[in-house]
Amino acid sequence: MTTDDHVVFVVDDDARIREALSELLESHGIRAVTFGSAGEYVRADKPDLPSSLILDVELPDINGLDLQKQIADGDHPPIIFVTGHGDIPSSVRAIKDGAVDFLTKPFSDDDLMRAVRTGLAQDREARLERAEMTALQERYSVLTPRERDVLPLVVSGLLNKQAAAELGISEVTLQIHRRKRAAEDGGRVARRSRAHGGEASDSDHPFSPRRKGVSREQKKKYDSCRR
């Protein structure tokens, strides 16, 4: 039985390979979506789920390595290359450009599944980081001009007194800006928690160190809001 919370795309011009890979993935409970060419893959509507891409090197319309380069600037799934004509320069290029693995046919089921699981884990982490970056950008967009002045100073580790002196304002005024921002953040967390039928907790805060994937700079922001 396959699950619906992730998907693996398979791009190979050999129908027998596509069928074999699809059966292997589904035997491990992983949903597979197959394509016979790079063009089919690029044009297809794809589910917004954690995913990885099993990509043949030799395709009828474009070399798989060239496709990797073309989609490098977008939010594409981690790539596992498979090929019957592997060579060292191609494998080095693929890995250097971010591929999870470069497997030469015939490869073992274990090697492929290991690479697939690694790719899915990488994509989940990347999606989390993108979501947190979007949240940060949204929060920054609603800061007042003064709060935007205060933020880089407190994140850099300056004490209230030092940050206030840098801005030419009183320490009390600076503390007001920080507390106002912390209160608004807490209100958003509480509303989100109530909407999901739960209680707001410290780990619900977008910058909480308890949350997976929170960077050191984000933790500094979290700590500064709680002082």
Q: Report the C-alpha gap between 20 and 101 in whole angstroms.
A: 19
Main-chain dihedrals φ then ψ at residue 78, nearest 5 degrees = -60, 140
Least-confidence region, from 34-38, 106-110, 118-122, 199-203 = 199-203
Main-chain dihedrals φ then ψ at residue 186, nearest 5 degrees = -65, -40
For residue 61, give the DSSP letter: S
Tell me the one-letter amino acid at 17.
Answer: I
pLDDT score recorded for residue 216: 57
Mapped onto helix, strand or coil, the DSSP state of residue 102 is strand
Q: Where are the alpha helices (DSSP H) in 44-200?
A: 64-70, 88-96, 109-141, 145-155, 160-167, 171-195
Q: Report the C-alpha gap between 83 and 220 in whole angstroms.
A: 46
13-61: per-residue pLDDT in tens? 999 999 999 999 999 999 999 999 999 999 999 999 999 999 999 999 9
pLDDT score recorded for residue 144: 82
Question: Residue 226's pLDDT band (boundaries 50, 70, 90)?
Answer: very low
Q: Report the C-alpha gap between 94 and 117 in whole angstroms.
A: 18
Share of the chain above pLDDT 70, in %: 78
pLDDT score recorded for residue 39: 96
Q: Report the C-alpha gap between 168 and 186 in whole angstroms.
A: 28
Domain 142-226 has CATH 3.40.1710: no
pLDDT score recorded for residue 92: 96
The dihedral sign for the CA sequence 68, 73, 74, 77: positive
pLDDT score recorded for residue 15: 96
172-224: per-residue pLDDT in tens? 888 887 777 665 554 454 445 455 454 444 444 444 444 445 455 555 554 54
* Architecture of the structural domain at 7-128: 3-Layer(aba) Sandwich (3.40)
pTM > 0.75 = no
Provide mean pLDDT across the span 154-182: 84
pLDDT score recorded for residue 201: 46
pLDDT score recorded for residue 75: 86
| Boundaries of every domain in the chain | 7-128, 142-226
pLDDT score recorded for residue 190: 46
Better-predicted residue by pLDDT, 124 or 155:
124
